[in-house]
Structure 1
Amino acid sequence: MTTSSTGAAGAQPVPSGFAVSERTARLRAEAALFMRDHVLSLVSHDLRGPLNAIHSWAYVLERKLDANDPNAQRAVTGIRSGVDQQVKLLETIVDATRAETRSLALAYAPFPLHPLLDETVDEVRSNLARPRGVEITVDSQLATEQLNGDRERLAAALWVMLTFAVEASTEGAALTLAARVDTGAWHATVTYDTNEAALNDPALPHVLETFARQQAGEPREAKRIAWVFALCKRVAEAHGGSFEQSDATGGEAATLALRVPLSAMAPR
């Protein structure tokens, strides 16, 4: 079944006093929470490598330096002490702060997938796509399929995907949400033509955090996602599924792909 709806019939001015629904505001805050914890996770991971290297080289220096030189020994001790302090900070502050989303609690229950799509798309259309003049087309092959998982968490992941695609689209652009079920898994893919100017234009209505939108335009290391999709990745993996972000290349559109098993189970 394929359905289509237009976010705006034509060009519309930026609304004065742009406001969003209570649900959109809550989803925005939740996305920001996962983003914060994702950044903390990256900081913890990326700092441990250099700190371990400094610690190892301190032992090498200690063996090379004169054991009877108090200044040299004091310097080595200071290096080791500084590294230990930084590691302790990572463990007690950085790692502890992100504990809430690291061990994500899920409320498992069976639910139909098609209403989830309709509700989430309607939320994004009314709160962002229409004010931005962006069209959302839904290409759904779903009928009565159900998924055993956390409905609210999965709705939030889909909301982030659609919201980002709208924010990255120019006025009059169209994006597509394709949904299907095969081999025991639900697949939701958002396809859109990304425009960095539209993503960061302060004159346009925005829902996502400014720093998140700016970071999304920066080069990414292999297999790393933009920070804004931290919630999508964490929720997908907590259900035993996956999330992938593909940038536009060779004239092709960008894609965001969510895959979740119908009988979702948290990975051991």
Structure 2
Amino acid sequence: MSRYPSNAPGLLAGGEIFDALPDAWLVLDEDAQVVAVNRAYLKLLGSEREAVVGRSVYDINQVGSREQREERRRWLHAVLAHLAPGEARLSPPIRYDLDPHRDGRLQTRYWQVRARLLEAGDNRRLYGLCVLDITDGMEAAGRDQRERAKLRSQARLRQVLMEEATAQLRTQQERFQQALAFANVGAIELETATGELICNVQLKALLGLDPDAVLTKTRLFEECIDEAHRARVQDAFDETLRTGTPIEVDFLVTLPGGAPRWILLRAAGQAHRDGVGASIAGLALDITARKESELQHVAIAQAERQARRQSEEATRAMDHFVTAVSHELRSPLGAILSWATLLQRTSDTAHMMRAGTVIERNARQLALMVDDLLDSGAIATGKLSVQLAPVDLGALTGNVAEDMRVSIEAKGLCLVADELSSCIVMADEARIRQVIWNLLTNATKFCVEGRVTVAVQTDGGEALLMVRDTGRGIAPEALERIFERFHQEDGGGRASGLGLGLWLARNIVQLHGGTITAHSEGRGCGATFWIRLPLYR
């Protein structure tokens, strides 16, 4: 926990950071009471925190002569009086001696204070004071001044100082430009009122422009910055102009050769002192390698999440499949065992015939399940093959429909198979029969009343097989999942089967170069399945 008030912005945001500042700082409230000091201040003045915090700034460090103390009071009052919010005020230097060893021997010291008015909320005001010991500078300045006074006149001195400042500024500018060039950092300054843009050659190079190219705000946004990022960059510019808060925004540019490049811009807006207009100044870096790495990590993380979801779904599907297999195998096996026991205990011919019929029917059901499991394994390993030969799809569908008519009508459903056009396709008759059988079985299973319709016709260069029922239908979001391995869309109430029928059907149809799709208006609206196979030519 911070030892300083959490509602004081800037200097007090995070007490540890404030305490570690290299400059000597203290914070005052509206009554000039010391709210907080950092270690640098305590070390500079040789004070303890308890001797400073909570006391008036005019009452601390009371050393030196009476005249010095009075002058210090007036000096502090002048720097704090009428300070506007956000205004930074630098006091003039003042001499104020200290007694660092507490032995009465004063040391000559010179001080300067930089003050700023902070807003802390709830109409409270805080003053931040940065205390600067400028003794060395003042003494050096005094020595230099005395030396110059010996050598030059006052006019010559001003000229020399101006020349030195100009030379120093020029040297600093050259070093700054050299540093930007060495680090490949682009510099930009944008006048928002006129749209005038000043930049260095490094920024032009980052944007893919020639060194002598003219860069304007319009060209920056309409040509250089990728269209998908322009609004976001403009919003960032507007934000820093409105609040003065520094911004950090990245955007994509496309170089003339087509290569993408990611640019990071750090900038801040500042209103002009005359109150007319504002500008944005900042630096730009090439972060392409870092951004591509970030995007790659994001893609990998998304892929991992997707793989994890798929793995979890596969695990759930396998659990469901094991449960379904256990249930589906148990029923026919139980029937077979029960009737086999009855055969051993009865000599009644009627019971023996019925037992044989039941055992045969359940054995066939088990055989179909085993075939589906074997076909599933063959498809999963890529070993399922088809023997193609010309097959009349209409005739084959009619035969399967007639084979199933008794079981369909026994459930109280109406089987409609009136439109079965002759369509010759290249197919494995046994495999296509298996697909038709699965579709009609599913239609019967999920249809409580109504009818099951099957039709075959030509559609361009394809044969079109349709199976439609008036059953409980399929939810739109589940239309693709019904073709997944082990998936069962029960729609309320448990659906028998292993969840392999439609998955097997899709794979078999795809082996024939065809497609299988499903359509349903939703729950209670029935379902329609279409199979398309290329016609034999």
TM-score by length of 1: 0.51
- For residues 148 and 188 of structure 1, the distance between their equivalents in structure 2, rounded to whole angstroms, comes to 14
**AA at the equivalent of 2:471:** T
TM-superposed deviation, 1:169: 1.0
Q: Deviations over 1:161-202 (max 9, x none)?
A: 0010001111x4211112111222111111112238xxxxxx
Is 1:30 aligned to 2:371, yes or no?
A: yes
- Look up the SS of the partner of 2:456 in the other structure: strand
Is 1:110 aligned to 2:387, yes or no?
A: no
- For residues 177 and 106 of structure 1, the distance between their equivalents in structure 2, rounded to whole angstroms, comes to 24
2:438 to 160, 163, 167: 160
Is 1:234 aligned to 2:507, yes or no?
A: yes
TM-superposed deviation, 1:19: 6.4
Q: Deviations over 1:15-73 (max 9, x none)?
A: x9596498776545433445x55xxxxxxxxxxxxxxxxxxxxxxxxxxxxxxxxxxxx
Structure ID, larger Rg: 2
- For residues 135 and 29 of structure 1, the distance between their equivalents in structure 2, rounded to whole angstroms, comes to 30
Relative distance call for 1:103 and 1:158 in structure 2 (3 A) is same
Q: Deviations over 1:181-239 (max 9, x none)?
A: 1222111111112238xxxxxxxxxxxxxxx6x822269xxxxxx74301210111101
What is residue 133 of structure 1 aligned with on the other side?
412
CA contact (8 A) 1:176 1:192 kept: yes
- For residues 138 and 230 of structure 1, the distance between their equivalents in structure 2, rounded to whole angstroms, comes to 25
- Look up the SS of the partner of 2:488 in the other structure: helix
RMSD: 3.5
**AA at the equivalent of 1:182:** D
Residues 209-228 of structure 1 mapped to structure 2, 5 A cutoff: 215-217=488-490, 227-228=500-501
CA contact (8 A) 1:149 1:263 kept: no
Relative distance call for 1:195 and 1:243 in structure 2 (3 A) is same
1:191 to 460, 464, 468: 468
Is 1:174 aligned to 2:515, yes or no?
A: no
Residues 1-268 of structure 1 mapped to structure 2, 5 A cutoff: 17=358, 20=361, 26-34=367-375, 36-37=376-377, 98-99=380-381, 102-126=382-406, 128-143=407-422, 145-170=423-448, 172-195=449-472, 215-217=488-490, 227-249=500-522, 252-263=525-536
Unaligned segments of structure 1, at least 5 residues: 1-15, 38-95, 197-211, 220-225
Relative distance call for 1:32 and 1:162 in structure 2 (3 A) is farther
**AA at the equivalent of 2:490:** G
- For residues 458 and 365 of structure 2, the distance between their equivalents in structure 1, rounded to whole angstroms, comes to 27
Give the number of equivalent residue pairs: 164
- Look up the SS of the partner of 1:237 in the other structure: helix
- For residues 140 and 21 of structure 1, the distance between their equivalents in structure 2, rounded to whole angstroms, comes to 33
- For residues 112 and 180 of structure 1, the distance between their equivalents in structure 2, rounded to whole angstroms, comes to 11
Q: Deviations over 1:132-163 (max 9, x none)?
A: 222210142513x3111111111110110001
CA contact (8 A) 2:409 2:415 kept: no
Unaligned segments of structure 2, at least 5 residues: 1-356, 474-485, 493-498
- For residues 109 and 130 of structure 1, the distance between their equivalents in structure 2, rounded to whole angstroms, comes to 32
Relative distance call for 1:233 and 1:192 in structure 2 (3 A) is same
- For residues 159 and 175 of structure 1, the distance between their equivalents in structure 2, rounded to whole angstroms, comes to 13
CA contact (8 A) 2:457 2:463 kept: yes
TM-superposed deviation, 1:252: 3.9
TM-score by length of 2: 0.27
TM-superposed deviation, 1:115: 2.1
- For residues 508 and 379 of structure 2, the distance between their equivalents in structure 1, rounded to whole angstroms, comes to 18
Relative distance call for 1:97 and 1:110 in structure 2 (3 A) is closer
CA contact (8 A) 1:243 1:259 kept: yes
- Look up the SS of the partner of 1:159 in the other structure: helix
**AA at the equivalent of 1:121:** A
TM-superposed deviation, 1:261: 0.9
- For residues 125 and 195 of structure 1, the distance between their equivalents in structure 2, rounded to whole angstroms, comes to 20
Q: Which structure would you say has the larger RCO, counting Cα contacts within 8 Å and 6 or more residues apart?
A: 1
**AA at the equivalent of 2:433:** A
